Amino acid sequence: MESLLFYVFAGLAVLSTVLTLSVKNPVYSAIFMILSFAATAGVFVLLDAFLLATVQVLVYAGAIMVLFLFVIMMINLRNKEAEGLRISPFALLAAGTFLVLLGRAINDLGPAVGRRANELEGTPELLAETLFTGYVVPFEAVSMLLLAAILGTVVLSRRQTGEDAR
């Protein structure tokens, strides 16, 4: 049952990602990408990452994709640049090389050792304990990064006035 659900969610994620990249209208792309992220959240649940599945739905499928949709609607393409997918041999070559290398790497993988069952696995309790003990410095660094991103966004989006505007 568990592995059947995994294949359902994995197939849904790959299918909706393909649709994201191949449809012409960017709004449809964003909608299919929300589906792709939701399916990935299902995969996360099956891999015992319960908190991260919630974060994936709230932050990725919620906040980030709403941001994308807002920008798509503000830019308002007037259908002139609605171009579809152009099959480029270089892109297929790059992706094919990557997949072949990954296949070799998976082949060389030693026998996977299933970890001991932990009743706290993926809960906020265990994740928070690790995050705020062993990873305090990276956590603070990420908070500074987010602050820098906020400042950069405000500066870049300010409407330029006077002689600055060209």
Partner 1 sequence: MIPLEHVLVLSGLLFALGLCGVMMRRNVILVLMSIEIMLNGANVALIGFNKYLIANPVDGSVAPDGQVFVFFTIAVAAAEAAVALVIAMALFRRLDTINVDDVANLRW
Span 122-151, contacts to partner 1 by CB under 8 A: 122, 126-127, 130-131, 134-135, 138, 142, 145-146, 148-150
Q: How many of the chain's residues bind partner 1 (CB under 8 A)?
A: 80
- Binders of partner 1 among 29-48, rule CB under 8 A? 29-30, 33, 36-37, 40, 43-44, 46-48
Nearest approach in angstroms of CB 156 to partner 1 is 4
What is the spatial distance between Cα 17 and Cα 161, in angstroms, rounded to a whole number?
Answer: 41
Q: What is the DSSP string of 25-88?
A: -HHHHHHHHHHHHHHHHHHHHHTT-HHHHHHIIIIIIIIIHHHHHHHHHHH--TTTS-------
State which of residues 6, 28, 79, 164 lies at the interface with partner 1 (CB under 8 A). 6
Nearest approach in angstroms of CB 57 to partner 1 is 11
Nearest approach in angstroms of CB 38 to partner 1 is 11
Nearer to partner 1, 113 or 163 (CB): 113
- Binders of partner 1 among 62-121, rule CB under 8 A? 63-64, 67-68, 71-72, 74-75, 77, 81, 83, 85-88, 90-92, 94-95, 98-99, 102, 106, 109, 112-116, 118, 121
Token pair listed for 45: 């649940």
Select from 72, 9, 81, 76 the least CA-distant residue to 44. 9
Nearest approach in angstroms of CB 105 to partner 1 is 8
Select from 126, 31, 21 the least CA-distant residue to 69. 31
- 76, 26 in Cβ contact below 8 A? no
> Residue 29, SS3?
helix
